[in-house]
């Protein structure tokens, strides 16, 4: 190549080399794509095989109790002395504690997520976010022990007597204040699922387009109005996912609940009554039941019922996540956002 070669000559000289390089890149991309697809399908197949094997083992071990109880396993009580191995009492306890936990955790979690994502300055939001993530890593047995040692006497001597004395609340808060109760178990569960609600909701709110926030502020909306009427509705699907995951953890928690719920196999007559959940009943009864007996099969039957409830909850969550909002009438972006925000005081 001469020293006086023009740029066009250089381009024509390197064109074949560039073409070979692009061909190699395309082939490498196709091969990596095929490898990723193979790994993905292999992972899905392994997961499906493990899940099917789990169902087969649980169904085999619970067959005796399920055949003995039939469909009444869903509403009958648990009394091995009378040959009753139903999950009805534990299902009621599980639903009550989960409901109490969500009533406490969801509003607090959404408010905290909105604070960290939209309202707090960065110097404050960053350490608080790390603190929330740290709370999510605390083992459940630590939370349960804290509830047993610290919260149980506080609830027995202060919280439960106060709730009993509030007019109108004695419908759900009545009975002897014992500390260990459905209410305390729900509070402990709320503490455990709160980091999940906060973390996932904050990520969902942070994913809302910045242009939507700026448009709201341009319409003279306050930061709180933008958060409430623009950011939270825009992050609705992520918030639903966070609530679904929190509900799934609350349904399946066993160790912490078993330490603070009182473990009573009778139907609770109020939120101050001791009770039991499916998880706590499994923890307390599995080691005491003799292998090969109907009682052991009944405990595995409780596992099957808990698994069925968890699957139904997750399936319902997936339906909610895939539900699309109704189409918005055609408007300009500023007009549509003004309608969403509403009148600004």
pTM above 0.85, yes or no: no
Is 41 part of any domain?
no
> Could you tell me the CATH number of the domain that includes residue 201?
1.10.3720.10
Per-residue pLDDT of the chain (345 residues; tens, 9 = 90+): 445 555 555 445 545 555 555 655 666 656 666 777 788 888 889 988 998 998 888 888 888 888 887 777 778 888 887 878 888 889 999 999 999 999 999 999 999 999 998 888 888 888 888 888 888 888 889 999 999 999 999 999 999 888 888 888 888 888 888 888 999 999 999 999 999 999 999 999 988 888 888 888 888 888 888 888 888 888 888 898 889 889 988 988 888 999 999 888 888 888 999 989 998 888 888 877 777 788 888 888 888 889 888 888 888 777 776 765 544 444 444 455 555 555 544
Backbone φ, ψ for residue 224 (5° rounding): -70, -40
Q: Is residue 17, in this structure, part of any structural domain at all?
A: no
Q: Evaluate whether residue 39 is within a structural domain.
A: no
The residue among 172, 118, 70 whose CA lies nearest residue 62 is 70
State the total domains in the chain.
1
Domain range for residue 106? 71-341
pLDDT for 261: 92
89, 78 contact by CB (below 8 A):
yes
pLDDT at 28: 60
Residue 29, in any domain of the structure: no
Find, among 197, 195, 183, 198, the residue nearest to 98 by Cα.
183
Please report, for the chain, how many H helices and E strands are present, in that order: 15, 2
Which is nearest to 58 in space by CA: 310, 329, 338, 303? 303
Q: What are residue 85's DSSP bridge partners?
A: 78
Q: So what's the pLDDT on residue 167?
A: 84
Q: Does some domain include residue 212?
A: yes
Return the closest-CA partner of residue 67 out of 297, 311, 309, 286.
297
Q: In angstroms, rounded to a whole number, what is the distance separating the alpha carbons of residues 123 and 107? A: 24
How far CA 206 is from CA of 79, 82, 245, in Å, comes to: 50, 56, 19
Give DSSP secondary structure letters for 177-209: --S-SHHHHHHHHHHHHHHHHHHHHHHHHHTS-
Is there a contact between 166 and 139 (Cβ–Cβ < 8 Å)? no
13 part of a folded domain = no
What residues form DSSP beta bridges with 275? 262
Name the β-bridge partners of 78: 85
Question: How far apart, in Å, are the Cα atoms of 140 and each of 64, 104, 143, 252?
Answer: 32, 18, 5, 12
**Does residue 16 fall inside a structural domain?**
no
CA separation for the pair 217, 215 (Å, rounded): 5
Q: What is the pLDDT of residue 67?
A: 83
Tell me the two tokens of residue 109: 């979690």
Residue 226 token pair: 């933008």
Beta-bridge partners for 176: none
**Residue 8: inside a domain:** no
Encode burial over 73-91: b for 16+ CB neighbours within 10 A, e otherwise. Answer: beebbbebeeebbbbbbbb
Work out the end-to-end distance of the chain between its first and last CA atoms, rounded to an integer number of angstroms. Answer: 75
For 90, 215, 262, 286, the CA distances from 147, given in Å and listed in that order, are: 21, 46, 12, 23
Of the candidates 156, 171, 144, which has an alpha carbon nearest to the alpha carbon of residue 274?
A: 156
What angle (nearest 5°) sits at the alpha carbon of residue 91, between those of residues 272 and 146? Answer: 50
């Amino acid at each position: 190549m001469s020293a006086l070669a023009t740029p066009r000559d250089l381009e024509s000289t390197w064109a074949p080399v560039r073409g070979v390089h692009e061909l190699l890149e395309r082939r490498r991309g196709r091969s990596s794509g095929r490898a990723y697809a193979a790994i993905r399908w292999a992972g899905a197949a392994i997961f499906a095989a493990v899940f099917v094997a789990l169902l087969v083992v649980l169904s085999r071990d619970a067959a005796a109790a399920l055949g003995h109880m039939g469909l009444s396993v869903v509403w009958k009580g648990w009394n091995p002395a009378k040959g009753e191995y139903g999950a009805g009492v534990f299902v009621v306890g599980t639903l009550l504690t989960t409901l109490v936990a969500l009533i406490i955790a969801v509003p607090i979690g959404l408010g905290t997520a909105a604070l960290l994502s939209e309202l707090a300055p960065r110097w404050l939001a960053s350490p608080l976010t790390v603190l929330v993530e740290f709370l999510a890593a605390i083992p459940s047995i630590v939370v349960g022990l804290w509830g047993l040692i610290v919260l149980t006497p506080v609830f027995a001597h202060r919280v439960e007597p106060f709730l009993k004395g509030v007019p109108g609340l004695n419908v759900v808060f009545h009975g002897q204040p014992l500390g260990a109760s459905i209410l305390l178990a729900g509070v402990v569960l709320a503490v455990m699922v709160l980091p999940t609600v906060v973390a996932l909701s904050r990520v969902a709110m942070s994913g809302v387009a910045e242009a939507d926030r700026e448009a709201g502020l341009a319409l003279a909306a306050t930061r709180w109005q933008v958060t409430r009427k623009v950011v939270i509705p825009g992050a609705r699907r992520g918030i639903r996912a966070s609530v679904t995951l929190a509900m799934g953890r609350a349904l399946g928690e066993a160790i912490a609940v078993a330490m603070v719920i009182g473990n009573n196999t009778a139907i609770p007559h109020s939120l101050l009554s001791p009770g039991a959940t499916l998880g706590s009943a499994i923890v307390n009864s599995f080691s005491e039941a003799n292998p090969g007996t109907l009682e052991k099969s009944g405990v595995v039957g409780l596992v099957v019922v808990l698994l069925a409830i968890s699957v139904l909850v997750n399936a319902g969550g997936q339906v909610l996540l895939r539900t699309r909002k109704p189409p918005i009438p055609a408007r300009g972006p500023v007009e549509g956002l003004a309608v969403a925000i509403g009148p600004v005081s």
